[in-house]
Amino acid sequence: MTNDTERTHRFNELAEAYSTDLYRYAMWKCGNDALAKDLVQETFLRAWRALDSLKDVKAAKSWLITILRREYARTFERKVPPFTDLDKVTVEDNDELKPDERTERDLLRKGILKLDSKYRDPLLLQVVFGHSCAEISEQLGISKSAVMTQLFRAREKLKTQMQKDGVTGNVHELF
């Protein structure tokens, strides 16, 4: 293979391996599907340009997340987009959900978007990417104990929010 072909092949492998998770992360991070798509595209555009600097393929996931987080901070943090109507976002594997399960899932999703980013960010890294606490610590530049505290509180807040919304029948609340 020529260098260009090899490079393209390597890039496409990264896209296939990580674009879905990066989209999910971006979607829950910014709460807007169109913006999430832009973020992921911009992330891969930058990754394509800097691909030669990625020496260790094992570091690719963290590398791409870093690019996306930086791009998010750079471009969108000052302009908070409106949250997407989650009903418009395609949801995987939802056909078998019973009505009460669907309600619970919707409450959970709305709860995720309501979380402060300091709780949401480590939670997404763990749930979407399967990062360990140590990996999250490295990614966010905070101590492992702080990560664990934030993860614990994130889940507690979600449970509390779900109970509150569930009790008050707040399923259709708009953001």
Partner 1 sequence: MSMNFSEFKKLIGADPLNRDAETLRARLSSPEFEAAATEAEEFEEKLQAAVLVSPPDDLLNQIKGISQQPVQRRSWVPLALAASLLVFVGAAGLVWKQSHQWDSVEDYVVDHYSHDGNAVLAKAGEKSPDQAIAKILTQLDARATEQLAGLITFIKFCPTPDGRGAHMVVSTDQGPVTIIYMPEVQALDGEEVRFDQMHASLVNLEHGSAAIIGNQSQNFDRLVVMVRNSLKTGLVDA
Binding site for partner 1 (CB under 8 A): 7-8, 11-12, 15-16, 19-20, 23-24, 27-28, 33-35, 37-38, 40-42, 44-50, 53, 63, 66-67, 70, 73-76, 78-79, 81, 89-93, 104-105, 108-109, 112, 124, 126-128, 132-133, 147-149, 151-152, 155-156, 158-159
Nearest distance from C-beta of residue 142 to partner 1, angstroms:
13
Residues sharing a CB contact under 8 Å with residue 111, sequence separation 6 or more, in sequence order: 157, 158, 161, 162, 165
Tokens of 77: 């943090």
Q: Nearest 5°: phi and psi at 93?
A: 50, 40
Distance CA 142, CA 130 (A): 18
CB of 174 to partner 1, least distance (A): 19
Closest CB 62 distance from partner 1, rounded Å: 10
Judged by beta carbon, residue 49 or residue 168, the one nearer partner 1 is: 49
Q: Which is nearer to partner 1, 159 or 164 (CB)?
A: 159
Residue closer to partner 1 by CB (options 96, 167) is: 96
Query: CA-to-CA distance for 94 and 102, rounded, in angstroms?
Result: 8
CB-wise, 60 or 169, nearer to partner 1? 60
- Distance between CA atoms of 169 and 114, rounded to whole angstroms? 17
